[in-house]
Chains A and B, each alone.
Chain A
């Protein structure tokens, strides 16, 4: 499932394009539902059942249940929608950034501060 078109390669980055939007539709639709507090509570009661209700495939479900952000992205997740899932677990953008880049939260925050000193 791919448009087959040539894409610009940006290190460590996947553009959320048509290919990813198709691939991740069910996952992102589930995350969109988390705008509602009732849905967030329902998810927490039965995570796997909630994933099934939205038709997530095995890869997406595994990524969600293990809370692995890079895996969710590879399965077509979009950052803005995944943030709503992260919010359920109290994860902020530094938690998510640290997990994706394989450093501690403090190290990730220090890297951001350092970017301002350059």
Chain B
């Protein structure tokens, strides 16, 4: 059966793309962020995943508000990035794994997650930048991919408890796939930030650090909060932590922290990084 080697959660601010394109990794503004990644690169070199299941939210590249799925799973041979309108460089396509995609789709629907399936799917910065951070400069990306998109744009959003269960169902799906593939699960977005309104610039360091700490060994802690409460605590975009929680849900058994990093600010965002290993 396929093996989940662990999970990595990371912020997906678009301007990371510009920093990478301009080689600003050692610039004083960016250094505290980029310095978080070498330990994750070393861990990935050790656990050698073949496939990344990437849990993220689309920001109006693939999905518009005309049709907005709560949960969607990619089932394409290849996923293209494209112009998102604000001028960050477009990255080369990513290779899919259609066998895992359809195995996950079958398993998720069997387990009562009636997801939308996408045989064509553009992937935005929330999908591409984490892969760029974990496998810098490697084109094509050395892992095959399955995108899993969660609506964090148009309310109502799925509850934290639902996202955790969705993650558990993703984990069971991967672990019931009859191959010897090694899979890393990635959750992107957050941590606290708010782009719009008079509360723009809101950041909540105390909550973020608690969330990162609890996510490793007590992930259900955050499910005590409703989605509007999470918005109040973390900002309108901080609620992307649902992608982190979904990723954590996919990890079962003994989970240990490999590496974490937290830095304020990257653009308007409290940036977080958390890699976890499954025994």
Contacts and interface: CB of A to CB of B under 8 A. Distances in A.
Contacts, number: 140
Interface in A11-26: 11-18, 21, 25
Contact of B85 (A25, A87, A97): A87
Contacts of B236: 13, 15-16, 79
Nearest to B195: A79
A73 interface: yes
B69 interface: no
A63 interface: no
B268 A112 contact: yes
Contacts of A118: 205-206
Interface string B67-102: 000000000000000111111000000000000000
A88 B153 CA distance: 21
B264 A25 contact: no
A101 B194 CA distance: 12
Interface of B: 15, 59-61, 64-66, 82-87, 153-156, 194-203, 205-206, 226, 228-229, 231-232, 236-237, 263-265, 267-268, 270
Contacts of A81: 60
A47 interface: no
Nearest to B82: A35
Contacts of A73: 196-197
A53 B195 CA distance: 28
Given A15-B155, A97-B195, A112-B264, A36 B83 contact: yes
Interface in A70-92: 70, 73, 78-84, 86-88, 92
Given A21-B65, A29-B64, A113 B264 contact: yes
Interface of B is mostly: loop
Interface of chain A: mostly helix, strand, loop or mixed: helix
A88 B60 CA distance: 16
Contacts of A45: none
B272 to A, nearest CB: 12
Interface of A: 7-8, 10-18, 21, 25, 28-29, 31-32, 34-37, 40, 69-70, 73, 78-84, 86-88, 92-94, 96-97, 100-101, 108-109, 111-113, 115-116, 118
B60 A80 contact: yes
Given A115-B264, A118-B205, A70 B198 contact: yes
Given A101-B200, A111-B201, A93 B195 contact: yes
Which A-B residue pairs are the 10 nearest by beta carbons?
Answer: A116-B264, A12-B199, A87-B86, A84-B85, A12-B198, A115-B203, A112-B265, A79-B196, A8-B228, A17-B155
Contacts of A111: 201
